Amino acid sequence: MSLIRRNGDLFNLPSLFDDFFTRDFNRGGSSFSSTGTSIPAVNIRETNDDFEVEMAAPGMTKKDFRIELDGTLLTISSERGSEREENEGNYNRREFSYQSFQRSFTLPKEVVDIDKIKAKYENGMLYLRIPKREEAKQKPPRVIDIS
């Protein structure tokens, strides 16, 4: 027995089961909002010198992002829309697409050097480097001489 996915019924109307077959059950690297839009996965790593943020966002450009720091709240957001029109024979097909997401993170107070935050977008990944203030960095153990 074979399972065949059809994109509509005999009259080219959407099938009630299309949603069942197009849903992503694995949800690998992304999570989904209540509207079904994907929210990019984020990795955050803390080192002695900084925080490193990686966000998977393939198919975007650096112009699609807005990165904002308000006090200790870091917000990464994106909005992108497109329109496509096709004319074939006696029918026209016009499609609109709109994607947006927003992720916010609270940075530790008095730890981050906000003037030195850097971001770059490369090969589908957004990278942020958020350096720590010198006084917030962990110092190596110090040996104390006994007199």
Query: How would you classify residue 124: left for phi > 0, otherwise alpha for psi between -120 and 50, otherwise beta?
Result: left
Residue 75 lies in a domain: yes
pLDDT, tens digit, for every residue of 45-79? 988 899 999 999 888 888 999 999 888 889 999 98
Residue with tokens 């450009």: 61
- CA-to-CA dists, residue 88 to 66, 84, 135, angstroms: 38, 13, 66
Domains identified in the chain, total number: 1
Residue 66 · residue 78 · CB < 8 Å: yes
The predicted pLDDT at position 15 comes to: 44
Domain with 131 in it: what CATH number?
A: 2.60.40.790
Question: Does some domain include residue 62?
Answer: yes
Domain annotation covers residue 6: no
Give the per-residue pLDDT at 9.
Answer: 46
Q: Tell me whether residue 145 is in a domain.
A: no
Is 116 part of a structural domain of the chain? yes
pLDDT band at 13 (very low <50, low <70, confident <90, very high): very low
**Is 109 inside a domain boundary?**
yes
Domain contains 67: yes
Cα separation of 4 and 24, whole Å?
17
Task: Give the predicted TM-score (pTM) of the model.
Answer: 0.61
Q: What is the mean pLDDT of residues 104-128?
A: 90
